Amino acid sequence: MPPPEQERAAAALGRHFAMDRLDADELDRRLDLAFAGSVSDALDGLPPLAAPEPVKRRWGRRHGESDAANPSWMPTKERFIDPSTQRVMRVWVDPADQSRHYVPEPRA
Domain ranges of the chain: 4-43, 58-108
| pTM (whole model) above 0.75 | no
Q: Does the structure show a pLDDT above 80 at 100?
A: yes
Query: Who contacts 74 (Cβ-Cβ below 8 Å, separation ≥6)?
Result: 92, 93, 94, 95
Question: What confidence tens digit (pLDDT) does each residue in 32-69 have?
Answer: 999 998 999 999 999 988 776 655 555 455 667 888 88
Helix (H, G, I), strand (E, B) or coil at 45: coil
